[in-house]
Amino acid sequence: MNTQHYTQIFNDLRGGILAMDSVTARLACSRRAEQLLDQLDAEKSYEAGRVAERVLGIEATGATTPAALGGDIREELLQLINDISAATVAPVEVVSEPVLTVEEVAQRWNVSAKTISRWRNRGLIARTFTFEGRQRVGFLESSLNRFSATHPKLIRRGSLFSRITEEERTHTLRRADEMLNNGTPISKVVATLARDTQRSLESIRQLLKQAGKSEGLVGGKLSERAERRLYKEFRRGKSLSALAQQYGIDPKAAARALNRARAERIFELPLDFMSSPDFNKPGADEAILAATPVAPSGQRMPRKPSDLPAYIASLYDVPLLTAAQETHLFRKYNYLKFKASQLREKLDRTRPKAQLLDEIESLYRDAIETKNLITRSNLRLVVAVAKKYIGSTGDLFEKVSEGNLSLMRAVEKFDYTRGFKFSTYATWAIKKNYIRAYSNEVKQSDRFRTGHEELLDASPGHRSDPTSQLAAQRRREDQVSNIMERLTDRERQIISSRFGIGSQREPMTLKDVGVELGVSKERVRQIEARAMQKLREAAVTARLENLSDSGEFTFQSN
C-alpha cells in the first residue's frame, strides 16, 4: 500500500473544500466527514477515493483508487474537519441544525466545561461559529448525538463527578446532619447519599469532609475538631459567610461555633500573673495602663562592641529601660494578665459571648506586646552572659538562643513587687540554664557512670560505709520516685531520659529525646523546664535538698 498515494487524495480533497466559496457547502462536507467516522472499521481497508466522494456528496465514479486502513482514514478525516472549522467561521444563523455552546453542552450532560474540553480529544467534534458577532466554539446537535451514542458510559460517569449545585449541596449536607444526629455511621451516610444523588462515593466523601461532617455532629452542631478547623480558617482570612456555606450551616451557627473555638483557645492561654494590691485600687486602669514614662533626656547609649556579628550588635541599638520604665512595664504586663484572667472566669464555655472574647483577646495581645518590649530591652544582657560561657568550641549564636529562652521565662516569673532589679534576676536565671547545660555535657562525656548513679550517689564522706551508703541511696530512690509521681507520663519520660534515671544508660541530649518522642528539640526543652519546676515545688514540700553532688537536682526551699 502506497501511503503517499492515499494521503495525496485527502490533500486534494482538503484543498478543494477550502476553495469553496459557500460556507454552507463547506459545513456540509464537514458534517458528512463526521458521519463517516463511526462507519469506519479501524482494521479494514477502504478506497480513499470512495471516502472522498462520500465527503463531497457525489456519486461514485467507479474508478479504482489507493486503499488505506480505516484507522488511518479516520485520522485524515479528523484533520480535515479541524482544517475546515479553522478556515470556516460560520454564522450560527445559517446552520440548519441547533448549535450549542460549551456551557450549554456542560449543562445538558451535567458535567464541567473542563470535562467537555477533555472529551474533544476523545472525538467530540467542535467547530467555530459566530454568535451575535462573536466567534465562539460550538457543537452541532448531530455531533452531540453521535458522541453520546458512541460513549454512553463516559457521559454517565462524567456526570457523577460534575460540579454540585448550591441547592443540591445544601440539601445533601442537611440530610447528612439528620443521619449523623441519629447515630448513622459515616460510611453508611456516604453510601446512602451517593445512591440517592447518583454521585460517586468519593464525591460525597469529599463534600462531607470539606464541610466538617466527616468527624460527625454532636447535639446538632459541629464537632470540636471541625470547630477548631473553622477557627483556623477564619484566622487565615476566610469570611464567616463563606465558612457557613462551606460547612453547610447557617451563619449564626457558624458564629457560635467560632466563638466556642475561640473560648477553648482562651482557656489554654497562660494567664498566670504576679499579684499586687495596686490591681484592686480605684483608678487602676488609668494609673497602670498609662503611657510608659519617658527616659531622662541625654541618656547615653551603651558602647557597641566591635567583635560581635551584625545581628547581635544591632541589639545594642535598643535603649535600656530606666528603673521607672521597668517597674511600669512589669506592673502593666501582670495587670493585663490579671484582668484577662478575671474575665476568663466569667466565660461560659458552651455559650461564650463575643464581646467578652474580644476583651480577653485584646488584653492578652497587649500583654504579649508589653512582654516583647521588656524582652527586647534586655537582649543585650543575654549576650553579655553568653560570652562568658561559650568556651573554646562553643557557638555564640546557640548560647544566645538558649539564653533568650531563659530571659523570656524570667520575664514571666519575675516578681516586680519585691523591688529588685530585673537584670539581677534575669542574669541568675540565664547563668543557671548555662550551668545546667554544662553539667549535662560533663555527664555525657563520663562513660563510666550512669545518670542514675550521679543522681543517687551519696556524699564522699559516706562512701566508706557501704551499709549506710546503701540505706541512704534507697531513701533517696524512694524520695525521687515519690516526687516523680507528680509529673505526667510524658514529663516523667523526658526527665528519666535526660538524666538517665532508672534506665541503666547514658543521659540523652535534647535532640535525642526529641527524636525518640517525635517532637522538636525546643519542645523537649519546654516540657523539661515545666517538669523541673514541678520537681522543685515538690522538693520544697518534702523538704528535700541537694539530691546530688552535681547540683543537677538541687532544690532550694527558699
Give the pLDDT score at 73. 86
Place of cell 481497508: 45
Sequence letter at residue 228:
R
Torsion sign (Cα): 340, 343, 345, 347: negative
Please list the helix, strand and coil fractions of the chain in percent, rounded to the nearest 5, in that order: 65, 5, 30
The SS3 of residue 138 is strand
290: left (phi over 0), alpha (psi -120 to 50) or beta: beta
Report which of 497, 531, 530 is spatially closest to residue 513, judged by C-alpha positions: 497
**Ranges of each domain in the chain:** 1-88, 96-163, 167-267, 277-439, 462-542
- At the top level of CATH, the class of 96-163 is mainly alpha
Dist CA 414 CA 426 (whole Å):
8
Dist CA 114 CA 392 (whole Å):
65
Residue 90: in which H helix or E strand, if any?
strand 90-91
The SS3 of residue 135 is strand
Q: Do 528 and 495 touch, CB atoms closer than 8 A?
A: yes
Question: CA dihedral in degrees (398, 399, 405, 409; nearest 10)?
Answer: 170
Classify residue 136 by its DSSP letter: E
Dist CA 428 CA 397 (whole Å):
20
Dist CA 112 CA 115 (whole Å):
5
Give the pLDDT score at 218. 47
Residues with Cβ < 8 Å from 555, sequence gap 6 or more?
A: 535, 536, 539, 540, 544, 545, 546, 547
Dist CA 201 CA 210 (whole Å):
14
**10-residue mean pLDDT series, the chain (558 residues):** 68 86 85 85 86 85 80 85 82 82 83 79 83 83 86 77 70 80 73 81 73 51 76 85 75 88 91 91 92 78 68 76 92 95 92 93 94 90 84 70 89 89 90 76 52 46 50 62 74 80 65 80 85 77 46 36
- β-pair type (127-131, 217-218): unpaired
Neighbours of 46 (CB within 10 A): 21
Q: Do 361 and 235 touch, CB atoms closer than 8 A?
A: no
Domain 277-439 is of which CATH architecture?
Up-down Bundle (1.20)
Residue 226: in which H helix or E strand, if any?
helix 224-235
Tell me if domain 96-163 and domain 462-542 are identical in fold.
Answer: yes
Q: At what angle do helices 489-499 and 521-542 cross, to 10 degrees?
A: 100
Neighbours of 13 (CB within 10 A): 22
CA distances from 326 to 302, 367, 374, 377, 425 (A): 18, 14, 8, 10, 13
Give the pLDDT score at 499. 75
Place of cell 470547630: 227
Q: Do 468 and 462 touch, CB atoms closer than 8 A?
A: yes
Bridge partner list, 130: 91, 135
Cell of 72: 488511518
Give the pLDDT score at 188. 81
Sequence letter at residue 558:
N
Sequence letter at residue 192:
T
The CATH fold assigned to 462-542 is: Arc Repressor Mutant, subunit A (1.10.10)
Sequence letter at residue 485:
E
Give the pLDDT score at 460. 47
- The stretches of 315-465 forming alpha helices (DSSP H) are 323-344, 354-377, 379-386, 396-413, 422-445, 451-456
The SS3 of residue 134 is strand
The SS3 of residue 450 is coil
